[in-house]
Amino acid sequence: MCIKGKLTGKNMSGKVKLHYFNGRGRMETIRWLLAGAGVEFEEYFFETREELIKLQQSGVLLFQQVPLVEIDGMKMVQTRAILNYIAAKHNLYGKDLKERVLIDMYVEATMDLNDLIMRHPMQPPEGREKNLALIVDKATNRYFPAYEKVLKDHGQDYLVGNQFSRADVQVLETILMMEEMKPDILAKFPLLQGFKARISNIPTIKKFLQPGSQRKSKIEEKMVPQVMKIFYG
């Protein structure tokens, strides 16, 4: 559901509200986690730089940046802070400090890889092929082997603590984005293939993966200059 409207003082519906542009960017992981946790949310999309500036001038953005998520009476900024809050609130952050640190290690790595993926369309055309090769290399030789081994070593269905956590959601998100860049990226990772199928079939995730959900599509190349203009002028 997209509501284009003003940022009101109070969130009267109590629903979680996301403020961002109508695309993936840094908000997508938050959408995934909310969806995975079965939490409904509304979205406000800004489409011009003027709208972002207005948001900045309203004083609601602690560091003048989005994502902004209104949740539980707070106007939260900073992607990691938001993700940590949602995960902890919805029992997706492990049972103790040691499980938590494993989850953190795994998701920090997905965020490193997501960052590369997110910046890829911003590369000048001449550099794109090389950049793609770099990303594929990192996924294939650094990140995915680590997750494959985790699954191999404990033989469990989920990455941490034998229960569904944010690590599973975030790794699935990254796998799917990598597959968009290279469809056979999981060719050497049979356990990750099984993991992908399994996590995709979890009811909340399955729903999010269906057309018509709030999951955003990969940005179209022709839209990139427009999006850059919103953020950088």
Return residues touching other proteins (CB under 8 A). 62-64, 72, 74, 76-81, 84-85, 88-89, 97-98, 100-102, 104-105, 108-109, 142-143, 146, 149-150, 152-154, 161-162
Q: List all residues 6 or more positions away from 38 whose beta carbon is below 8 Å from its beta carbon.
A: 90, 204
Complex with other proteins: residue 63 or 232, whichever CB lies closer: 63
Q: Shortest Cβ distance from residue 207 to other proteins (Å)?
A: 26
Cα separation of the two ends of the chain: 27
Q: How far is residue 134 from each of residues 141, 146, 181, measured CA to CA in Å?
A: 10, 17, 12
Q: Shortest Cβ distance from residue 223 to other proteins (Å)?
A: 26
**How many CB atoms lie under 10 A from the CB of residue 180?**
11
Complex with other proteins: residue 115 or 221, whichever CB lies closer: 115
Complex with other proteins: residue 62 or 187, whichever CB lies closer: 62
- CA 153 to CA 151: how far, in whole Å? 6
Pair of tokens at residue 62:
């602690």
Complex with other proteins: residue 4 or 188, whichever CB lies closer: 188
- Asked whether the beta carbons of 83 and 33 are under 8 A apart, the reply is yes
- CA 124 to CA 209: how far, in whole Å? 31
Complex with other proteins: residue 144 or 208, whichever CB lies closer: 144
Q: Shortest Cβ distance from residue 141 to other proteins (Å)?
A: 8
Q: Shortest Cβ distance from residue 2 to other proteins (Å)?
A: 26
Please report, as a single letter, which amino acid is at residue 193: Q
- CA 140 to CA 168: how far, in whole Å? 18
**Phi, psi dihedrals of residue 68, rounded to the nearest 5°:** -125, 130
Complex with other proteins: residue 78 or 193, whichever CB lies closer: 78
Q: Shortest Cβ distance from residue 85 to other proteins (Å)?
A: 5
- CA 178 to CA 189: how far, in whole Å? 13
Q: Shortest Cβ distance from residue 8 to other proteins (Å)?
A: 21
